[in-house]
Amino acid sequence: MKSINLVFGCHAHQPVGNFDFVFEEAHRLSYLPFVEVLERYPAVRAVLHFTGPLFDWFEAHEPAFLARLAALVDSGQIEIMGGGYYEPLLCAIPERDAVAQIRRMRAFCARHFGREPRGMWLAERVWEPQMARIMARAGVEYTALDDTHFLCSGLTPEDLFGYYMTEDEGLAVKAFPIQEKLRYIVPFHPVEETIELLREWATEDGARCAVLHDDYEKFGVWPGTHGSVYTEGWLERFFGALTENADWLRTVTYADYVDSHPALGRTYLTCASYEEMMAWALPAPMQRKLNDVRSRVKDCPELGPDAHLFLRGGFWRNFLAKYDESNNIQKRMLRVSNRLERVRAGAVEPRLEEAERLLHQGQCNCAYWHGVFGGLYLNHLRTALYEKLIGADRLLDEIEGLAEDRVTVESADFDGDGNPEAVLENSRLALFFSPTDGGTLFEADFKEKPFNFCNTLTRRDETYHDLLRAGSALVGGDDQGDLSIHEMVKAKEANLDTYLVYDPHRRASLRDRFLDPSASPDTLWACTAREYGDFAAAPYRLETLPGGVVLSRAGSVVLPSGEARAVSLAKTIRLAPDESTLEIRYDIACDGSWPGDLWFGAEFAVNLLTGSADDRYYLSDDHDMGRPRLGTRGCHEGMAHLAVRDEWQRLECGWRFSAPARVHRFAVDTVSQSEGGQERVHQGCVIVPCWRLSPDAEGRFTRTIHMGMRVF
């Protein structure tokens, strides 16, 4: 009789910083009912992987669930897979941190399940060749990757029923291919379809092993799946079918198969992830081209069924080039990791363990990239990473015993673009400036309550926006439990296409604008306000001072008549010791007579997470403006002060102006993809204080802004 082995595995994850109700809902809808069904079928063996944020939550809220898992481990019914504890992408973090994260997970499993895991789940199955060495160093014996990895390396679909050895510098791990066909039909297609596919793959010698290992959340959390998987009984039927066909269809764990079967051979895997991830990593125009080519290949049967194997997208690190904000988080994490390593080399201090835990939490991968789910676009996930990284930095300040009255200025290539950035820091703030991008402030870390006030996101073109433009998105309606999430095109509200506005440059602060008097919150929001200067995104000269930086540019302003005027601008930013307010002084000079009715504006972008809550609002101590929500637009004349306040976090950021200003304000919302469809996400509010350019007797224009951050 022909037979086959099946490894059936689930990977469960919730990001650091996700809302507690999401953890609870995922446990109620998926994690717990899955185990309850599995317990009723003791002949079915499975592999389960839970990430550290879930293990932390189970310890705090559902310790009985951990006990149930331990009982299943003791009975031999399940194998617990290891991994990086807080689900980092190994390619995005230093090797020392990768090894430490894996060992953190091994220690947890030994404590709760009585044994260390032999295998490891690789976050997002993002593979680079050096990972074999990293895993082996951390004690990992095997992992599972998409069949895409193996096909891209020259193997054929018939070669994907077992495991291969792969190594780096002589350190080897075993790698199992995950079958894409199984991943796409389970649990969305009838159980019989899966059984018949496995029957087709069975052989007389019974040595083959097919691997199905995918997201646990497909079994209850994804839209419509709780009803189809549990209420309608898909999982019961599946486990029942596995039990009934056990004479030829053996469910095994990775450990079972490794201990009883040799490797199929040795292979060297190229940089890869699953097919969708490699497409998402491409810029939107290249994604469209790739999708078009794939469609053409699919419609050309004369090319053969394997032609698509030669079509690949980018690889994960492209996200760091595609999204400045992703690169920002990753480079901020590297800065903390390198600092921790330096401090650890010179001190034995118990608090370093806590600093490392915060660093590891700040390495959780979800907000480092964006695909079919929200990821980077979810501001609360980015906020959580900055909270952990800034918190680790603050703790290292304490461990090093740094003086409260210090102010430091550092010039270094923070973001890896080959140009120096500036970091101005004291005991309360860390401020990051980009001279090459308009002399802007792109990160403002508040240490007292770890928070990056400049954690905004730029509005960008995404390929799924094409669906909204075409009017083919489904708004509302019933969830379709028989469709894969990759096949669903939904929108959470009508007229989302009106929000498809794309920013010409990164949404940062201190972006300098020379504006027409007709500029309004609406035209600034729509990026249609007339701009006369060449300063907004141009390179500035950086000069460091004791306790400050100067960012200057000799540029020009082109008047509506076409006449150009040479204009020089210098902004001097100073930070006093032990203060959380920075002073920004603008000095602007024009070569010749000043233009007529021209306005100068300094643009600021900050993010307090939502624009629709009553406890997040604008306020002023010199204007009775009420408490407009942060998602509103407005223009106010003659303002000396404006602030944004978050009563939930007790945070406030405010601006005081040396001369009354016309202040435009508006919200920045992106349109992004999520599990439930395309949605609008608040990414911050923009404040643009403006003044008519009126020079003094010496032909100069000067304004000072004090920008302060505080807990109230």
In Å, how far are 438, 628, 682, 683 from 611, measured between CA atoms? 27, 10, 6, 9
Q: Which of 79, 87, 97, 124 is catalytic?
A: 124
Catalytic (active site) residue 147? no
10 Å CB burial of residue 180 (0-12, 13-18, 19+) is middle
Tell me which long-range contacts 153-161 makes (C-beta under 8 A, separation of at least 24).
Answer: 153/267, 153/268, 153/269, 153/270, 154/267, 155/267, 156/306, 157/306, 159/264, 161/4, 161/201, 161/208, 161/209, 161/210, 161/264
* Sign of CA pseudo-dihedral 262, 266, 270, 271: positive
Annotate 345-375 with DSSP letters as a single string: HH---THHHHHHHHHHHTT-GGGG--SSS-G
Query: Residue 102 CB: number of other CB atoms within 10 A?
Result: 24
Q: Which of 215, 448, 587, 675 is catalytic?
A: 215
Question: The tokens 């998409």 sit on which residue?
Answer: 146
Query: Residue 710 CB: number of other CB atoms within 10 A?
Result: 17
Side chain identity at 685, as an amino acid letter? C
Question: The tokens 């469709």 sit on which residue?
Answer: 483
Q: CA 457 from chain center: how many Å? A: 11
Is the CB of residue 701 less than 8 Å from the CB of residue 588?
A: yes
Query: Residue 587 CB: number of other CB atoms within 10 A?
Result: 16
Q: CA 119 from chain center: how many Å? A: 26
Tokens of 563: 């006449």
Quote the CA–CA distance of 664 and 689 in Å, as a whole number: 6
- Residue 397 phi/psi, 5-degree rounding, is -55, -45
Is the CB of residue 602 less than 8 Å from the CB of residue 512?
A: yes
Is the CB of residue 83 less than 8 Å from the CB of residue 116?
A: no
Buried-exposed string 385-418: b where 16+ CB fall within 10 A, e elsewhere: bbbbbbbbbbbbbebeeeeeeebebeeeebbeee
10 Å CB burial of residue 596 (0-12, 13-18, 19+) is exposed
Annotate 615-681 with DSSP letters as a single string: TEEEE-SSS-----BTT--EEEEEEEEEEEEETTTTEEEEEEEEEEEEEEEEEEEEEEEETTEEEEE
Catalytic (active site) residue 39? no
Least Cα distance to 57 among 84, 76, 31 occurs for 31
Quote the CA–CA distance of 712 and 653 in Å, as a whole number: 10
Is the CB of residue 354 less than 8 Å from the CB of residue 583?
A: no
Tokens of 671: 């349109």
Quote the CA–CA distance of 412 and 406 in Å, as a whole number: 19
Active site residues: 124, 215
